[in-house]
Structure 1
Amino acid sequence: MPVSRSAQLCWGQHYHLLRYHQVPEVSRHEAHIKAEYPLPDGCTTEHVRRALNHLVRRHEGLRTVYDLDAHPWPLQRVEPPAPLPLHEATTEDDGTPPPAEVIRRLSDTAFDITRDWPLRACAVTTGGRLKRLHLVFNHLSFDDVSLDVLCHDLDAVLAARTEDRPVILAPVAQQPVDLARYEAARPAGVVEAALDHWRGEVRRLPDDVFLRRRDPHRAPGAAHAASFTVPSLLATARAVAARHRVWPSAVHLAAYAVTLAAYTGERAVAHRMYTSQRDASGFPSVLTCMSYPTPAVLDLRDDPPFSTVLRRAADRVGQAMAHAHIPYDRLLEFIAQEGLRRGRPVRVASELNFLDNAPLSCRTRRDRFTWNAAPTDWTTAASDLYFRVYEWSDGITLALQAVEEVMDRDAAERFLRGYARLLAAHADPGTDLTVGQAAELAGFTPAAERPLLAVAGQNVDAEQTAAALREHPGVRSVTVRHDDRGLVADVVADRPVTPALLRTHALGAAHDRPGARCPDWFRVSDAGRRLPPVEGDGSPAAPRPPADSQAERDLLAVTAEANGLRAVDPADSYAAAGGRALRMPRVLAALRARGWEGLTIDLLGGARPLHTLTDRMRRSGHAADPGPAGGGRPRPDGGGTASPATGAGMGEGRDR
């Protein structure tokens, strides 16, 4: 189709583009926003059809597709106005598919973002009369504010159509392409100043806040989902916020951090909170996605009282909002580079989202705990935990999704109830619990003891590190210790093995063993004692020659081609080799074109050397190696995905 305008992607779209490509196509519907839209009296299917086509002409974002193969960067392309398909389903038994089947198909079919516009609509009729309108949105193009913009316009157009009067709407001042061009023209110094803030935040991240709790052998792939609605928490959270003169979102960030510290046993806790770019960008009303999860680190090692945690949380929210306007892919690259520097993955895979669902009701006057359906599709997105706070007009719902690897069912319920007890305790102005006291209040079962070494401010599991090194075919035995050189591995080898080879192996293997880390120093002894020991930090003196492997050759070739690199060292990670995060979908598509499967955005975007990633690659067709429902307006959490935060101070919401 012809293109009327084009530009690079808006910075806020980067996260959702990468997340959409992280999961298998059959699971991408988890990121869709789905809702039944309220209709005015007298509205007909033709009114809806004409209203949607009016909005397609008005908003370029509704007719935008994405060219992921464009060089040097992916592009958004605005297509000329055309009628939006309006699917119809009747409740009558006339041989056509019933409404539930039609809506499920529209909701669960992944958007082909290279061809599909980001909105689907289905009109449900009975006897020819319109009864319901279902809408499905692609999260890549919509967040909470853009949904409000569209809903406001759709309300106005439908009212005008049903009342047979002219449509009166103010002109659209900001289109996504305008925002993208503004971002592309931002002075480098301004962007770097904002990025410097996030470089500092990444350096402060703990390696893995769930280290003491993580057990990859406990029901692999399983996950839980539960919600706890507590009407009284709404007044409590607002009273605490007013007392300390902070946003309600800061209260929930503080409560979440303290509950997370109580559960994990860690006192430097980190997670990702959804942050809006709208205020920082100067484009507050553009119809596109402008929020993404930014890392938030709270240091609680001094066992502070809750009031101090609250001040620190409010500062983190303020800092995140002030420096929000950056390209998300750069943040992902910082985390990958930091993992390579530390010799282990930096895993910050728990998410916090604050969602404003007023004026809707929570529909209960009593506390209500509910187990929800297992979030099977969500587990494919490489997250550990997703915690949402829904603020209704008359209560608060706490919703939790967690993989079994870090939290079992009992712990999930204790987490939700402990969070609520923590906030309820602070309804009394005289209460100011320390982190340690809050941990006692939650009543979590203690984590299993693990033999951890403190290395460079982070916990390292020496046994897991040794086990990772023993996986190398040339290694007979390993002893791991800590001295003034850092983490040291004494290795006995059956064949010639260099520190450089061991370093490459350890950087890859550390990702699969919680607590493992690549040593800072290697001492390699010959098992037959025929050769003198070899020592070093394992930094290659020269690029590693490619192995005689078609998988490796193809991976290096497509990485170089997609990123415009002359050469790629397989001992480097994707990011260290010069690969850019926003081009990873292009790399994966090129590998599929060559007949390879097995790699994901998460694998490619980590600290693993490219050489070790070839173990995950397989030929196409071969087997691999062994929330609360609310009516009314569509909300960005409608599909159960990690969605734009709403609520004052942290996300897309309104000041309160």
Structure 2
Amino acid sequence: MSSLTTSFHGDRTATGPLTFGQRNVLLWIGAESNRWSSVIPLFQPVPDGCTTAGVAAAVSVLIGRHEALRTCYLTGAGEPVQQVIQAGELTTEVCEVHGDEMAFVAALERRLCARPFDLRSELPVRAAIVTRDHRPALVVLIVCHMAVDVGSIEVLRRELTTLLAGADPESLGAPATQPLEAAAAELSAVGQRRSAAALRHWRDRLSQAPLRLAVPVAPGATTAIPQRVRMTSPAAARALDGLAARSSAGRSVHVLAAIAAVLGLRTGTDACLFASVSGNRFHPGFGGYVGPLAQDALVAFSLTAGTFGELVDRAWAGQLAAYRHSRFDPEALWSVIDAVQHRRGHYFGRDWVFNDVGTHLSDAGADVPADTRFAWTDVDQVPVMLFFRLIAVRGALDLELHVDARYFPRGEVELLLRGVERLLVAAARADLPLAELGDVTGCTPLPRGEGWVRVGPHWVELAEVRRLLSDATGGPAAVDRRPDGTLVGYLAGRPGIDLRKVHLDCMALLPDRPSAAAPARYVVCDTAPDDPADPDAWLGRPVVTEGDGR
């Protein structure tokens, strides 16, 4: 292995506030549970005739063009800022491939990703050139998520392809909007009004829809069991061709509606609420932007449609409304989420996420099998229960799913994905009445014993609520659901007990308990009955205090 150092030059040195996208990434980039997505790789084949020096120079041109690639972040006391560096040097590794090329490149990627980026002093990009017979064959860029999102990577891929083909850098034209200008626009009066409207959208949807996928946890499973599966289905792609021909909604929306329908059937819910990652590149001036623009769009719609076609229309309307409200102050959003959770007594787990990355991937769908194929891989981490990545919809539906097997074991996952495929195929023949969803997909509602009850739009397991209250208070507890749907918790305590603290302690324990919720009302008695798990046994005991804890 050797290295090559090249210089890069930009237009300015400058300092300013972070964009919404940068602040959003900064909130989670250092968290252990999200390290899986703290970098994004770019693998670019090198055409014949290029030299190693020419390839390294092309990478330096990209760094000079795009300020996000030569920005450090000062995150000490006070508001974090971005600091653009005008000029500097990039050291690129040069590695001759040995043995199996795919394994060699995978090992190189792991090594380049092994050390976290130092946001304060390090360029947010690492580069390597893989050579074959001492001629450049592949460029590998590992870019910190503070500098790019998936859309940015594809901008860099297009420009790098052009440069490696021998084009003059001037042919790329002027760079798009830079992050400092984006931050200024977001802090303007117009940008602040847009952010406020987005926060209202989130508050309204979070206040009405079910916040969790209430599913049982595998016995004995206390930590995440991360896995990844990729379903490749030619049959589903053919069905999407037919569905798209008779609908104004795109193929991606049909896939999304099918996922929502199957999950709704399986979990027994009649409304859905989920995050759909919005690239935010439809705003003027951001098509060629390099920087993290993507933020969550909160999608909500009812699943009580008559036919699949009606459900697709609802999904499309819900998605469009969400995308119009997907640029916002991320810290302010968490204040909104915390307030709604506290009031409703349910945790917003961001349990399932939909990310359509196919529009960014030029080589998506290249490998088309003859029949449906499932490819399973163990992974280090998974951020949520279900993270769907739609990779391709033409030739074969290419749908990847990161899953926490504590909640959805392998057999369950394949049942759900097969259900999505079967639903699309059936709906392509004729608009499918959703009353036939179970027969068509082979999915049935999760079995729920008598301890499961509906509390508003949520399914709740009373035994888990009782365990939550007992763990939060360190004493015996009981839980009951009153005829009006109110969830009441009983506990023993002394006069002066702080019900606000009891409620906060319950809320703090909710993240890993998807079938639990905090009671809407707390009743504190002087002592516990002989059978503290029986809510009827608490009736008639002297009440010390009661309230909602809010």
**Please, what TM-score do these two structures have when normalized by structure 2?**
0.86
1:535–1:496 CA distance, 2 compared to 1 (3 A): closer
SS in 1 for 2:328: coil
- Residue type matched to 2:399 in 1? L
Counterpart CA distance in 2 for 1:479 and 1:102 is 54
- Residue type matched to 2:403 in 1? A
* Match of residue 259 from structure 1: 262
* Match of residue 582 from structure 1: none
Q: Which runs of 5+ in 2 are unaligned?
A: 1-9, 530-540
Map 1:38-437 to 2 at 5 A: 38-71=45-78, 73-91=79-97, 101-126=107-132, 128-160=134-166, 167-187=170-190, 188-209=192-213, 211-215=214-218, 217-218=220-221, 220-280=223-283, 282-300=285-303, 302-356=304-358, 357-377=361-381, 379=382, 381=383, 383-391=384-392, 394-428=395-429, 430-434=430-434, 436-437=435-436
**Please, what TM-score do these two structures have when normalized by structure 1?**
0.73
* Deviation of the 1:281 alpha carbon: 6.2
Counterpart CA distance in 1 for 2:38 and 2:502 is 40
* Deviation of the 1:360 alpha carbon: 4.5
Q: Which has the higher strand share?
A: 2
* Deviation of the 1:352 alpha carbon: 1.0
* Match of residue 462 from structure 1: 462
1:16 to 14, 20, 25: 25
Contact 1:56–1:84 (CA under 8 A) maintained in structure 2: no
- Residue type matched to 2:407 in 1? V
Contact 1:65–1:117 (CA under 8 A) maintained in structure 2: yes
* Deviation of the 1:421 alpha carbon: 0.8
1:141–1:331 CA distance, 2 compared to 1 (3 A): same
Contact 2:150–2:357 (CA under 8 A) maintained in structure 1: no
* Deviation of the 1:43 alpha carbon: 0.5
- Residue type matched to 1:76 in 2? Q
Contact 2:510–2:517 (CA under 8 A) maintained in structure 1: yes
- Residue type matched to 1:55 in 2? L
* Deviation of the 1:235 alpha carbon: 3.5
Please give the per-residue CA displacement for 1:601-641, whole angstroms capped at 9, x wherever unaligned: xxxxxxxxxxxxxxxxxxxxxxxxxxxxxxxxxxxxxxxxx
* Match of residue 543 from structure 2: 533
* Deviation of the 1:500 alpha carbon: 4.3
* Deviation of the 1:463 alpha carbon: 2.4
Contact 2:349–2:511 (CA under 8 A) maintained in structure 1: no
- Residue type matched to 2:443 in 1? F
Counterpart CA distance in 2 for 1:248 and 1:335 is 31
* Match of residue 449 from structure 1: 448
Q: Which runs of 5+ in 1 are unaligned?
A: 541-656
Counterpart CA distance in 1 for 2:169 and 2:270 is 60
* Deviation of the 1:216 alpha carbon: 6.7
Counterpart CA distance in 2 for 1:474 and 1:396 is 50
Contact 1:476–1:493 (CA under 8 A) maintained in structure 2: no
- Residue type matched to 1:387 in 2? F
1:311–1:45 CA distance, 2 compared to 1 (3 A): same
Counterpart CA distance in 2 for 1:191 and 1:492 is 45
* Deviation of the 1:341 alpha carbon: 0.7
> When the two structures are aligned, how many residues end up with a matched partner?
521
Q: Alignment RMSD, CA only? A: 3.0
Contact 1:219–1:404 (CA under 8 A) maintained in structure 2: no
Identical pairs, percent:
25
* Deviation of the 1:498 alpha carbon: 5.1
* Deviation of the 1:180 alpha carbon: 0.9
Question: Which shifted more, 470-479 or 4-13?
Answer: 470-479
Map 1:528-607 to 2 at 5 A: 532-537=542-547, 539=549
Contact 2:42–2:157 (CA under 8 A) maintained in structure 1: no
Question: Which shifted more, 387-396 or 346-355?
Answer: 387-396
Counterpart CA distance in 1 for 2:521 and 2:439 is 40
Counterpart CA distance in 2 for 1:272 and 1:142 is 20
Please give the per-residue CA displacement for 1:142-161, whole angstroms capped at 9, x wherever unaligned: 22332232223223333337
Please give the per-residue CA displacement for 1:513-539, whole angstroms capped at 9, x wherever unaligned: 44333223333222299x952222154
Counterpart CA distance in 2 for 1:131 and 1:276 is 31
Contact 1:195–1:326 (CA under 8 A) maintained in structure 2: yes
* Deviation of the 1:99 alpha carbon: 6.4
